């Protein structure tokens, strides 16, 4: 997600953003669990670069050709999925609406705070579709246009946190809090970083947790790969998170903190 120069600019601006611009969670939580095939977007956040291991085993990159037109929006996509889960309901029994109506409804959902959940009776009703996945398959262009620009990824207000050290105690506490939230059917969005390295600088949404004696395995919606869930693993012995190898990350340890929640994030 961007260059080091852009990242440093982002951090310098984020440090001056207000810490409590939105209200904290009301304490209520969604009545149902997040379902990957229903509550995610069908389209991906595209990458500017192609990554691979070269013949020497080094992780290298080159610009994608042709240049993709929907990039640097991993934070936007993850946040928007959370907002639709918390603040929208779909009604396939009602007839489909006009594009202008859908634009207004999307804007209503995106204008809600991702840090606060709407009561069931106040959720934004989306007619003509059964779920977000179906909606995004048919209204992809509209959702891409209305959910937010790349600048919202660069200027996410919690980015200040990545420049401070991540202790093993902090990561243990983070893993425990994330697992606790998921038990209450919340959907935490987390920032995966290895600052100051830019090998990974990415947002994903967590929706399930399987706790074992040695690990916690978090089922993960990756905006870059919407076809299937991936797994973010927390190792209890080392108190470390690991993200698997894929087409943009060689795999390995990541530092994790939750965003779109509470003051300062």
Whether the per-residue pLDDT at 29 is higher than 80: the answer is no
Mean pLDDT of 16-34: 54
Write the CB contacts of 227 (distance below 8 Å, at least 6 apart in sequence). Answer: none
Q: What is the mean pLDDT of the chain?
A: 89
Whether the per-residue pLDDT at 118 is higher than 90: the answer is yes
Whether the per-residue pLDDT at 170 is higher than 70: the answer is yes
Whether the per-residue pLDDT at 90 is higher than 80: the answer is yes
pLDDT value of position 95: 98
Whether the per-residue pLDDT at 108 is higher than 70: the answer is yes
Question: Which residue matches tokens 């994790």?
Answer: 256
Whether the per-residue pLDDT at 18 is higher than 70: the answer is no
Whether the per-residue pLDDT at 10 is higher than 90: the answer is no
Task: Assess whether the previous peptide bond of 66 is cis (omega < 30° from 0).
Answer: yes
Please state the pTM of the whole predicted model.
Answer: 0.88
């Amino acid at each position: 997600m961007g260059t080091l120069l852009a990242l440093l600019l982002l951090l310098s601006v984020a440090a001056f953003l207000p810490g409590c611009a939105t209200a904290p969670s009301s304490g209520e939580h969604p009545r149902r669990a997040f379902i990957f095939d229903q509550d995610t977007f069908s389209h991906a956040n595209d990458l500017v670069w192609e990554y691979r291991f070269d013949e020497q085993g080094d992780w290298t990159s080159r610009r994608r050709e042709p240049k993709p037109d929907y990039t640097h929006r991993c934070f936007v996509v993850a946040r928007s999925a959370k907002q639709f889960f918390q603040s929208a309901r779909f009604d396939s029994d009602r007839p489909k609406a006009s594009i202008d109506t859908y634009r207004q409804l999307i804007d209503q959902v995106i204008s809600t705070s991702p840090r606060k959940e709407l009561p069931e009776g106040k959720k934004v009703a989306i007619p003509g579709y059964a779920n977000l996945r179906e909606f995004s398959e048919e209204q992809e262009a509209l959702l891409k246009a209305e959910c937010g620009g790349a600048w919202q990824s660069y200027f996410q207000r919690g980015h200040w946190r990545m420049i401070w050290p991540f202790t093993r105690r902090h990561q243990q506490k983070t893993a425990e809090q994330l697992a606790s939230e998921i038990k209450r059917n919340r959907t935490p969005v987390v920032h995966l970083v290895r600052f100051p390295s830019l090998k990974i600088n990415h947002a994903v949404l967590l929706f399930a947790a399987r706790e074992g004696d040695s690990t916690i395995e978090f089922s993960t919606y990756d905006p870059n790969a919407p076809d299937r869930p991936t797994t973010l693993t927390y190792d209890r012995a080392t108190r470390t998170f690991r993200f698997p190898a894929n087409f943009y990350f060689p795999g390995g340890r990541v530092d994790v903190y939750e965003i779109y929640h509470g003051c300062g994030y």
